[in-house]
């Protein structure tokens, strides 16, 4: 394979490819990594290649996995962020189908079988994802009773969120990273996650993928992610990455999918207005009054019906700037 910017180089092209490669980026995931990996090995489909990319962990993540799950291939690298960890996995993946699993998420039994079966039966579809659920901690903060799969028909799809879903993606990041299975050929066409995006690198990836192929959604609930208390207060960033990702996609490709279906311009403006307003609200509550002021005005310009945006804009003048309000 020639070295091209943005293309994926596999380091084991002469070896037989396993059917599925699962890429698991991990950073200081010692407390829950085994649970995630065991949800992969519990699947009823083989062969599997599991790639754990340890992104510079300072705890015992890699040592624990090496000791308890010796069949997992461990790739260690300096801490460069989740996007680069996924990219390292892509460079080393050999499967015909490629999946991603975040270290604090998990899969329910039957996921891989259902997705492989669907892709084999629908060669016109380049990727398939599925519904998911949130696994919330109990009152003591412990995660108990792992969610069970919710499956009616393993090959049934949600037609409203399947096909050339670019317009739907403009309105919401409807694909969760741990839910998708992609054909290798489209991953090679698409290339890597954009590591310069601190947040939204996955959203950007799905938008780009939706320009290349159909993406279908199974109605079955086959994965879960851990809901963490206080996640909003811990994630106030100086940049509205989601807004920027969506705006950049629309500027590059417009509002129409490759099959011609288009999102109404008024709906897109309201979407941008909501993204700006939510960003303003978070900063007003937990971050920078200056950033909140700018985002509130931006929200109102996109959607003048959002009168609350003007209220936040006005209130921000009376809010004292906290110390260290914003994380980089």
Compute mean pLDDT per 10 residues along the chain, 328 residues long, and list them: 46 56 98 95 93 98 98 98 98 97 93 94 97 79 66 82 99 98 98 94 99 97 77 70 98 99 98 98 92 96 92 87 57
The CATH classification number of 20-226 equals: 3.90.550.10
User: The pTM is what?
Assistant: 0.90
The third-level CATH classification (topology) of the domain covering 241-316 is: 1.25.40
CB 218 within 8 A of CB 130: yes
* Region class of 218: left (phi > 0), else alpha (psi between -120 and 50), else beta: beta
Q: Supply the pLDDT for residue 256.
A: 99
- Tokens 């200056």 locate to 290
Where exactly are the structural domains of the chain? Answer: 20-226, 241-316
> Rounded CA gap, 126 and 98, in Å?
11
Q: What secondary structure letter does DSSP report for 108?
A: -
Q: Does an H or E element contain 310, and which?
A: helix 307-316
Q: Supply the pLDDT for residue 153.
A: 66
- Tokens 């308890």 locate to 68
Q: Supply the pLDDT for residue 5.
A: 43
Q: Supply the pLDDT for residue 323.
A: 59
Per-residue CA distances from 311 to 191, 297, 314 (Å) = 43, 10, 5
- What b/e sequence results for 132-171 when a residue is b if at least 16 CB atoms lie within 10 Å of its CB, and e otherwise? bbebeeeeeeebeeeeebebeebeebeeebbbbbbbbbbe
Comparing 20-226 with 241-316, is the CATH topology the same?
A: no
């Amino acid at each position: 394979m020639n070295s091209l910017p943005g293309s994926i180089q596999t380091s084991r092209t002469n070896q037989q490819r396993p059917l599925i490669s699962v890429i698991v980026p991990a950073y200081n995931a010692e407390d829950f990594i085994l649970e995630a990996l065991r949800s992969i090995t519990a699947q009823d489909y083989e062969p599997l290649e599991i790639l754990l990319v340890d992104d510079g962990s300072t705890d015992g993540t890699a040592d624990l996995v090496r000791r308890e799950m010796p069949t997992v291939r461990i790739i260690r690298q300096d801490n460069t962020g989740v996007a680069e960890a996924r990219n390292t996995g892509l460079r080393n993946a050999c499967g015909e189908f490629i999946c991603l699993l975040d270290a604090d998420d998990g899969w329910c039994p039957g996921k891989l079988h259902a997705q492989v079966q669907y892709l084999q039966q629908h060669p016109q579809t380049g990727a398939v994802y599925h519904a998911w659920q949130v696994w919330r901690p109990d009152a003591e903060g412990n995660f108990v009773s792992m969610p069970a799969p919710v499956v009616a028909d393993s090959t049934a799809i949600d037609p409203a969120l399947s096909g050339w879903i670019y317009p739907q993606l403009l309105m919401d990041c409807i694909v969760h990273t741990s839910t998708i299975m992609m054909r290798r050929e489209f991953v090679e066409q698409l290339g890597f996650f954009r590591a310069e995006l601190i947040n939204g690198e996955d959203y950007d990836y799905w938008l780009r993928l939706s320009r290349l192929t159909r993406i279908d959604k199974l109605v079955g609930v086959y994965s879960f992610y851990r809901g963490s208390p206080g996640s909003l207060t811990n994630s106030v960033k100086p940049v509205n990455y989601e807004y920027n990702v969506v705006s950049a996609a629309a500027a590059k490709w417009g509002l129409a999918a490759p099959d011609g279906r288009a999102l109404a311009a008024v709906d897109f403006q309201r979407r941008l207005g909501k993204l700006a307003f939510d960003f303003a609200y978070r900063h007003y509550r937990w971050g920078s009054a200056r950033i909140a002021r700018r985002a509130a005005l931006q929200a109102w310009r996109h959607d003048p019906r959002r009168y609350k945006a003007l209220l936040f804009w006005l209130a921000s003048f009376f809010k004292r700037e906290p110390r260290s309000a914003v994380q980089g």
